[in-house]
Every structure is written in C-alpha cells, then in structure tokens.
C-alpha cells in the first residue's frame, strides 16, 4: 500500500472516530452563545493557532456566532513578555473574556503549558471550556474541559486536520440550523 493511501485511510478513520453527541453539545454551546450575545474564544499554538483563526472567522461569518482568536503578534508578544509564555493565554483570558463565553483550547499534544494554564484558569472567569487534543490518552488538557475532544494519534498533521474538520463540521451544522 502506498504512503498516501495509508495516510488518508488513517486520517479518514480519525475523523470518523468522534463522539457525535459531543459535537451536538458543542453546537448547543455555540447556539447558546449566539442567543445570549456572548463569544467563542479560540486559542492554539502553531498549526493549532491557524485552526483557531479559521474557525473563529467561519463561526462568525457562516454561523452568526461571534468568534475571536488570540493570534495578534502584539498581544502574544506583550503578554508573553510581561507574564511569561506559560501564562499568556491565562492572562489574555483575564483581560478579554467575559463570563458566559466559551474558550476552545487546541493543543495537538495536550501538553502545551500555556494552553493547559489557560484551561485551568478559565473557570475563575466564568468560561465554559472545550478542549481539542491528541497524542497520549492521559494528556493533561484532555481532562480540563466541559467537553474534551481527543484524537488517538501521535502524528501532528493527522491530529490537527482532525481537529480542524471536527470544528468546521460544527460550524456547518450551526449554519444549517440557523
């Protein structure tokens, strides 16, 4: 079998290996945000940051739910400089989140300390937490959300693309329900 056939079979299996009820609960969380005028905040590092930006824009444009991401260079460098890289997400949430918002934290490994710290602090700000992780079943991020999506893979791009597709599927479901 070729590399690509195996790769696409693997990613296809990962995409299908999602708890549909959990995706429905995610859509319900987002719908409630729309009804209450609250927002979804998306945060990730690297490729996960790119996913965060894409989903935040589509959630707003396609589903009518206000979405933002923390990807501005000035925000990241200011908060990382002033509070340390491990705490920048936590502190950005302190400044930008409002009670009743949802924060979606994305980390392929589930071990990015800035993302884990953001999840741990989110409850103090009155936020609902949704996590997307992969790699090890017992990664620390996986147990910190109200909803926790996990991809059983150690391949970064498989994990990231699976997260991306799951999130965009939720956006498309909301668009249909709109």
Range of the domain at 47: 3-177
Query: How does the average pLDDT of the chain come out, rounded?
Result: 97
| Sign of the CA dihedral with 96 first, then 101, 105, and 106 last | negative
Domain count of the fold of the chain: 1
Q: Could you read off the pLDDT of 145-162 as tens digits, one per residue? A: 999 999 999 999 999 999
| Pair of tokens at residue 79 | 């908060």
pLDDT confidence of 9, banded at 50, 70, 90? very high
- End-to-end alpha-carbon separation of the chain, Å? 43
CA 122 – CA 124 distance, rounded (Å)? 5
Share of the chain above pLDDT 90, in %: 98
Element (H, E) at 69: strand 66-69
CATH code: domain of residue 8 = 3.40.50.10490
Q: Could you read off the pLDDT of 69-97 as tens digits, one per residue? A: 999 999 999 999 999 999 999 999 999 99
The CA dihedral of 45, 46, 48, 54, to the nearest 10 degrees, is 110
pLDDT of residue 1: 67
């Amino acid at each position: 079998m070729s590399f690509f056939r195996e790769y696409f079979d693997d990613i296809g299996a990962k995409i299908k290996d999602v708890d549909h009820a959990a995706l429905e609960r995610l859509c319900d969380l987002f719908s409630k945000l729309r009804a209450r005028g609250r927002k979804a905040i998306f945060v990730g590092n690297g490729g996960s940051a790119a996913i965060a930006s894409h989903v935040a824009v589509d959630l707003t444009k396609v589903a009518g739910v206000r979405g933002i991401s923390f990807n501005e260079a000035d925000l990241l460098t200011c908060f990382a400089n002033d509070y340390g890289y491990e705490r920048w997400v936590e502190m950005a949430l302190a400044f930008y989140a409002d009670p009743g918002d949802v924060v979606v934290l994305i980390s392929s490994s589930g071990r990015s300390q800035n993302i884990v710290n953001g999840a741990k602090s989110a409850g103090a700000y009155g936020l609902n937490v949704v996590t997307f992780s992969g790699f090890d079943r017992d990664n620390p991020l996986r147990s910190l959300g109200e909803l926790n999506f996990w991809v059983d893979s150690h391949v970064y791009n498989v994990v990231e693309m699976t997260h991306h597709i799951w999130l965009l599927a939720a956006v498309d479901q909301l668009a249909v329900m709109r």
